[in-house]
Chain A
């Protein structure tokens, strides 16, 4: 994991600092509106804590679960709260290799969040550029792009991703790629819809009268005004991506065994579940659940406040 990835993970929690006065007050108004929902605020705080914990995993985890010198097979499958030979207490138990579940989950969160946030960001960039382009150019290019978008939206994500991974094989990058393939179309459709409305506005006409280069009109004038729906979709899609990655890894077609995400941890504990050793699967699942719910709570509320129909 690189330093670049770490900053990417923590990016959503840090409110952007803005210098201009009026933008600051607009942001403040937005923030006040957002904070009006206790549930959404809780979601944001919880997700922030999870993200921080994931980024800091190597420093806060009690042990490095992938350093073979730190784990002992003698400690395998201990129940939550049991103590190891050398007096260390495993609060959430250990897995079949004798790894501390708390540490394994912290490291697993890193992979889950990296894949989820990374693929959502990349899909957002690709999908929204295409949608923006389609909405701005119009004509047959637009119909072609939108036909392809419709095609991608008409097939269930899990199936498309499953097929891609069946052909490409395991690997973190392959999972990211598969998720981008199944998600980009959502961004395209949303951005194109907004772009169609926005390009009729006077400010685009004004920019065109100034004979600004199309690239500038697209990215400096049109793009910022297409952002609100994009933010909502991106939030929801991060949750979807994390869930999809976990599902694929659970089926054994996601991340490789050397970089276990939460989904793979759950799959590893699956075989012990029927014999009553529930904690190996159960707690990673709880962590996954809390992550996804906290993101969805934020997304749900964002949709309510950013929906233009609700603003009047």
Chain B
């Protein structure tokens, strides 16, 4: 188990290293920040001074080494636009994205699992068929368009909910959160539902498939034969067994929700990481793009690692396989 874990961690580190090279080369070879950042009217000397101060005159490998040694010390350079540390900038936007993603995940779970369970238990009922058709709609609808329609209906036509911004925030432990105020929650509702819709359909389908598969298992038949109440058979014996895959999938989905927030945040003008990265791409603010990418890479590699470890803890078969 220990060697497996060490190998797995080594692999993760290797991926982070490879990604850092890819990101760095891609950012430096293809985009030319000089054109974007320095005004065309600047004199030759001004240009040269700016290029030198940004370190753009050095050979690529040297820039990369500088980048890595800086990165290990927790610094990924200053944003060209905001002129403050890029990593700090990304981190300062993290809470807004995180609270949105967590709320979206909660919505997906709290709505998706009960509906999926119902559809799995009564596969032939009219309601189940409606639910399943709805779930096809849920993962077919492009997120950005649903967001637009939601703004149109709830913000413009009905005027029930605000369409942009975070609303009132409360500072807890030096971080500003929206979900602690009524106004902030109101602002969160539309974007969170928008972000949740795709995952909701996925959770729903997973639950339904899991339920149908588990219902035909011997231990469920046995539990029924024992004369247990149907509620207990479903609540304990069925639900417990379908939770393992759902929980592990959801662990990974939190990461993808944070990534997908790019679209939702742009539409609802939510000042999170996603909005920051889209804005940074428009102006080719390289340090911010790199900082964001490295953070996402780290996030995903860590989540993958945790899920892998969880799997081998929960399911002995995986452990045995990985040993051979």
Which residues does A use to contact B, with CB under 8 Å? 39, 151, 154-156, 158-159, 162-163, 166-168, 239, 243, 246-247, 250-253, 263, 266, 270, 273-274, 276, 278, 281-282, 285, 288-289, 292-293, 296-297, 300
28 A-B residue contacts at CB 8 Å? A154-B301, A154-B304, A155-B296, A159-B262, A163-B289, A166-B281, A166-B289, A167-B26, A247-B143, A250-B263, A263-B142, A263-B144, A266-B144, A273-B152, A274-B151, A276-B156, A282-B149, A285-B145, A285-B148, A288-B142, A289-B140, A289-B142, A292-B141, A293-B140, A296-B136, A296-B140, A297-B136, A300-B136
The verdict on A239 contacting B140 (CB below 8 Å), with A159-B296, A247-B263 known, is: yes
State how many angstroms separate the Cβ of B144 from the closest Cβ of chain A. 5
Tell which of A239, A251, A289 touches B263, judged by Cβ atoms closer than 8 Å.
A251
State how many angstroms separate the Cβ of B174 from the closest Cβ of chain A. 28
Which parts of B253-289 form the interface with A (CB within 8 Å)?
A: 255-256, 259-260, 262-263, 266, 277-278, 281-282, 284, 289
> Within 8 Å CB of B304, what residues of A?
154
Number of A-B contacts (CB under 8 A): 98
Give Cα distance in the complex from A226 to B46, angstroms: 61
Contact A273 B148 (CB under 8 A): yes
> Within 8 Å CB of B141, what residues of A?
289, 292
Tell which of B31, B255, B281, B289 touches A156, judged by Cβ atoms closer than 8 Å.
B255
Contact A155 B300 (CB under 8 A): yes
Which residues does B use to contact A, with CB under 8 Å? 15, 26-27, 30-31, 133, 136-137, 139-145, 148-149, 151-152, 156, 163, 255-256, 259-260, 262-263, 266, 277-278, 281-282, 284, 289, 293, 296-297, 300-301, 304
Nearest first, the 5 closest Cβ-Cβ pairs linking A and B are A156-B259, A167-B30, A285-B145, A166-B281, A292-B140
Give Cα distance in the complex from A158 to B258, angstroms: 11
Contact A39 B149 (CB under 8 A): no
Contact A273 B260 (CB under 8 A): no
> Within 8 Å CB of B260, what residues of A?
156, 158
> Within 8 Å CB of A296, what residues of B?
136, 139-140
Tell which of B140, B145, B259, B281 touches A158, judged by Cβ atoms closer than 8 Å.
B259
Q: Write the chain A residue with the least CB distance to B11.
A: A147
Contact A158 B152 (CB under 8 A): no
Contact B152 A243 (CB under 8 A): no
Contact B256 A250 (CB under 8 A): no
Give Cα distance in the complex from A130 to B149, angstroms: 41
State how many angstroms separate the Cβ of B86 from the closest Cβ of chain A. 15
Contact A247 B136 (CB under 8 A): no
Tell which of A154, A247, A274, A289 touches B156, judged by Cβ atoms closer than 8 Å.
A274
State how many angstroms separate the Cβ of A251 from the closest Cβ of chain B. 6
